[in-house]
Amino acid sequence: MDMETNRSSLVVNNLNLSIDGNKILKNINLTIPNNKITCIVGPSGCGKSTLLKTFNRLIDDTEKVKYFGEVMIGGKNILSAKGPELIEARRHIGLVPQRPCPLPMSIYENVAYGCRIHGLCKTKKALNEVVEKYLSEVGLWDEVKDRLNSSAGKLSIGQQQRLCLARSLAVRPEFILADEATSALDPVSSKIVEDLFVKMKERYTIIMVTHTLRQALRIADYAVFIYLGEVVEMGEAEKIFNNPQNELTKKYLEGVFS
């Protein structure tokens, strides 16, 4: 999958997904714009996180899951990718989870890990440069440069989340998936991560699931509203949030259901 030369939007065509016979996603069709922050919003249990997990096939870990349709990235359908093709596709899709999940190793090795397994750095010098580059990119380098060999588990929760982001960036992804990425953080750490996403959209396409409308209002360029597994409305965030066309969207934004 040559995404370096064939950069394209993430396009979803007729995606349907069920878990143990229960329909979770129904006829999803959407295009995620490049170099924007797209926020997927909707009530709890509407399928937001499930949709996000199909973009990098993490949904495969769910028992009794079945899906059909297309998630097209770089002209390839990731839903039909297998073996090495799936591994390569996933490299281009970084994930920032709801709760930080640093690997049980040093700060340095957390960032270096993906580069090692994908063979992206041929020398120790190159690896050192990558670690510094991406720790700097997430604003963590100055905080940890004197303790790179210490356990990542000793970092604060906010620092751990930025470390996980650096780990994702180190393998040079094209897309960043953020699943409630700030929900476990304090307000200061949350603001730092939000600001990072806004800065990073110059180089990455960022797709966020958020249950916090205030967050979506602050940083979204594009919005997708999902209700009961269906896309109800999508478009430029300003238009969706200020002048929704669908009655369900209006009710959600008014807090009728959450």
DSSP labels, 126-150? HHHHHHHHHHHHTT-HHHHTT-TTS
Cα–Cα distance, 142 to 79 (Å, whole number): 40
Query: Which stretch of 110-124, 131-145, 168-182 has the lowest confidence by average pLDDT?
Result: 110-124
- Other Cβ atoms within 10 Å of 102 Cβ, number: 20
For the segment 193-203, the average pLDDT, to the nearest whole number, is 91
Q: What is the pLDDT of residue 4?
A: 39
**pLDDT mean across residues, the chain:** 90
Give the residue, 256 or 103, on which the prediction is more confident. 103
Largest distance between two CA atoms of the chain: 57
Look at residue 140 and tell me whether its pLDDT is greater than 70: yes
Query: Which pTM does this prediction carry?
Result: 0.89
Q: What is the pLDDT of residue 7?
A: 53
For the segment 164-185, the average pLDDT, to the nearest whole number, is 90
Q: What is the pLDDT of residue 128?
A: 94
- Other Cβ atoms within 10 Å of 177 Cβ, number: 24
Cα–Cα distance, 13 to 29 (Å, whole number): 5
* Residue 131 included in any domain: yes
Query: How much of the chain, in percent, has pLDDT values that exceed 90?
Result: 69
| Sheet bearing 10-19, strands edge to edge | 22-32, 10-19, 65-73, 76-77
* Residue 168 included in any domain: yes
Q: What is the pLDDT of residue 5?
A: 35
Nearest to 210 by CA among 76, 12, 40, 38: 40
Look at residue 31 and tell me whether its pLDDT is greater than 60: yes
Look at residue 258 and tell me whether its pLDDT is greater than 70: no
Q: What is the pLDDT of residue 6?
A: 41
Query: How much of the chain, in percent, has pLDDT values that exceed 70?
Result: 97
Q: What is the pLDDT of residue 9?
A: 76
- CB-based contact 27:40 (threshold 8 Å): no
- CB-based contact 252:44 (threshold 8 Å): no
* Residue 136 included in any domain: yes
* Residue 219 included in any domain: no
Q: What domain range includes position 135?
A: 102-172
Q: What is the pLDDT of residue 8?
A: 56
Q: What is the pLDDT of residue 1?
A: 38
* Residue 107 included in any domain: yes
Nearest to 109 by CA among 121, 98, 99, 97: 121
Q: How many domains does the chain have?
A: 1
Look at residue 152 and tell me whether its pLDDT is greater than 90: yes
Cα–Cα distance, 95 to 173 (Å, whole number): 10
Q: Confidence class of residue 90 from pLDDT cuts 50, 70 and 90? A: confident
Q: Which amino acid is at 163?
A: L
Nearest to 33 by CA among 59, 9, 16: 9
- CB-based contact 115:170 (threshold 8 Å): yes
Compute CA distances 73 → 90, 200, 236, whole Å.
Answer: 10, 20, 21
* Residue 146 included in any domain: yes
Query: Which stretch of 105-109, 145-149, 157-161 has the lowest confidence by average pLDDT?
Result: 157-161
* Residue 57 included in any domain: no
Q: What is the pLDDT of residue 186?
A: 86
- CB-based contact 149:173 (threshold 8 Å): no
* Residue 32 included in any domain: no
